[in-house]
Structure 1
């Protein structure tokens, strides 16, 4: 299969650069993918096919960060209109909107879906109780520049964040205090916490680094042939994918750092990559306004890849959300 050409599925519909992606866990109806775009309209798709399900309408500025809860029943988005929103991912309706004082760059659900974490250009992290929305959020201060990303981990007891102040910081939820910190020589471009919470992967410049999440001891580090904007590790930790300014999607062996393969498909720098929860594909979002889905094992029959020559373009011709239960039942 190594000599087969990669044929990604192209998902159109956005009108501006796609800047962030998030998958749900595997549910009874499969798994789902949400995209953040500067057009202000986050989109929900079937994860294994890229088929458009619906668009969440309500933001009045570029959407920078998105997340799905594990069950894909709730979606979250953070935007340049200074709001973080929580949506019913089945009906497409807005459930909560949390006003901030600056651009919201990142949103993250706790694993039990009871809390929403946000990171913003206010240099603050916040945790909102979704069961008590009238309560004041818990705040974490310490970053000295804009926060790029925030994620819950370790059974929601900890938060990890990275920012333009060239740091990664881990926070204790109970005390609100910073408990560990990494300093980088350049602004970190992305961060991913492994599904089991044991490892944090970061990118800066053309470097991908893997860290033990308990003590932030470096596990391994590799130099990539381009400025890297995003990285994602396969669920079984045998490989990782990354991409950036040279438009290529790279796949590397996790243990050795040897390049397995690389493909071109986008027509602009790639801003975000993520592996699906089953590891069968990885998704990418680009400056060109599209998402693409790539096979982990080229040529395998999976999703819409019924043969190596098949291609699919998923068009978004509507502006309202479909009912996911109806789509899944067909």
Structure 2
């Protein structure tokens, strides 16, 4: 008898959840941060969804979020034209970086020393967090607003996608664009695999997997809906994705066979992400909730104590982190 997938529902946001990010695994486990149009990004314990706190300070929708590897720093990018870095332990704002337009994407380098932003200015900026008096390195070439940008190849390279229907690779040292791929529609999500060999990108009704070195297409999967986000399991066995039809899909990465399809959200899925240990994946939706789904349904993990347990609604307290 198959076991029913029962996601944990993390409520508390009042508007659509548009971006999610996990930290790496530390002595305290791992953490999850969510970006929301309500302007109040939330930090949670990653394996349970338990609310830790809310970062207060933005004056507009938050579009991008990131955590450094050990979960001690958080970053947010927002419609108030700022990117902010926070102490994720105390909740204090550490740094606010002014931009000239909406900041859509933020990310830390793996060592936490560099910080990248992508904005509707069509500009990528890389800040050295150890030399804040120095001007950021800028990368120009996109002809429309940035959607996502992140580091790879030991932080030497950057990959970005934008509303100009392109994905681009940049050499951080030379400052040059070195690769470009065109799509028929604007890419909606972008992810680099843990081993930094594979780029996962969603566009239209497709999920494409590309090599990081040459942007060669490894494979492309057609999804039965307009897909907004996809995430590849750390061991590359499966990938999950979701979009317009409210369904969370899981596919076998090698064969392309659909393994699971669950409806849990009450609005389109804007973002999905695997946890660093691969035991669960998170989704954020137009319905204002974050949901956590088990990779191995029925396994005792986190708040899933046994297959018969019902889900637990996670509602944050009113305190600020």
Which bin holds the TM-score, normalised by the shorter protein?
A: over 0.9
Runs of 4+ displaced beyond 4 Å: none
Q: Offset of 1:175 from its aligned partner?
A: 1.1
CA distance in 1, matches of 2:209, 2:111: 26
| Corresponding residue for residue 8 of structure 2 | 9
Q: Structure 1 stretches of 5 or more lacking a match?
A: 322-330
| Corresponding residue for residue 325 of structure 1 | none
Tell me, yes or no, if structure 1 residue 211 matches structure 2 residue 182.
Answer: no
CA distances 1:239-266 after superposition (whole Å, capped 9, x unpaired)? 0000001000000000011000110100
Q: Offset of 1:106 from its aligned partner?
A: 0.1
CA distance in 1, matches of 2:256, 2:82: 40
CA distances 1:220-253 after superposition (whole Å, capped 9, x unpaired)? 1110111000000000000000000100000000
| Corresponding residue for residue 116 of structure 1 | 115
| Corresponding residue for residue 162 of structure 2 | 163
CA distances 1:173-199 after superposition (whole Å, capped 9, x unpaired)? 111110011100111111111011100
Correspondence 1:67-82 to 2 at 5 A? 67-82=66-81
CA distance in 1, matches of 2:185, 2:43: 33
- State the secondary structure of the residue aligned to 2:132: coil
CA distance in 2, matches of 1:33, 1:80: 21
Q: Offset of 1:317 from its aligned partner?
A: 2.2
| Corresponding residue for residue 17 of structure 2 | 18
| Corresponding residue for residue 37 of structure 2 | 38
Correspondence 1:215-294 to 2 at 5 A? 215-294=214-293
CA distance in 1, matches of 2:318, 2:175: 43
Tell me, yes or no, if structure 1 residue 197 matches structure 2 residue 196.
Answer: yes
Aligned length: 320
| Corresponding residue for residue 310 of structure 1 | 310
Q: Offset of 1:310 from its aligned partner?
A: 2.3
| Corresponding residue for residue 327 of structure 1 | none
| Corresponding residue for residue 56 of structure 1 | 55
Tell me, yes or no, if structure 1 residue 301 matches structure 2 residue 300.
Answer: yes
CA distances 1:1-25 after superposition (whole Å, capped 9, x unpaired)? 6x11111000001110000000011
- State the secondary structure of the residue aligned to 1:313: coil
Please, what is the CA RMSD of the aligned residues?
Answer: 0.7
Q: Offset of 1:135 from its aligned partner?
A: 1.4
- State the secondary structure of the residue aligned to 2:121: coil
CA distances 1:30-55 after superposition (whole Å, capped 9, x unpaired)? 00000000000110000000000000
CA distance in 2, matches of 1:135, 1:61: 27
| Corresponding residue for residue 324 of structure 1 | none
- State the secondary structure of the residue aligned to 2:86: strand
| Corresponding residue for residue 152 of structure 1 | 151
CA distance in 2, matches of 1:292, 1:134: 40
| Corresponding residue for residue 136 of structure 2 | 137
| Corresponding residue for residue 183 of structure 2 | 184
CA distance in 1, matches of 2:115, 2:80: 18
CA distances 1:65-114 after superposition (whole Å, capped 9, x unpaired)? 00000010100000000000000010100000000000000001011111
TM-score, normalised via structure 1 length: 0.96
CA distances 1:100-135 after superposition (whole Å, capped 9, x unpaired)? 000000001011111110000000000111112221
CA distance in 2, matches of 1:319, 1:51: 14
CA distances 1:136-192 after superposition (whole Å, capped 9, x unpaired)? 111000000000000011000001000000000000011111001110011111111
CA distance in 2, matches of 1:260, 1:140: 40
CA distance in 2, matches of 1:191, 1:256: 22
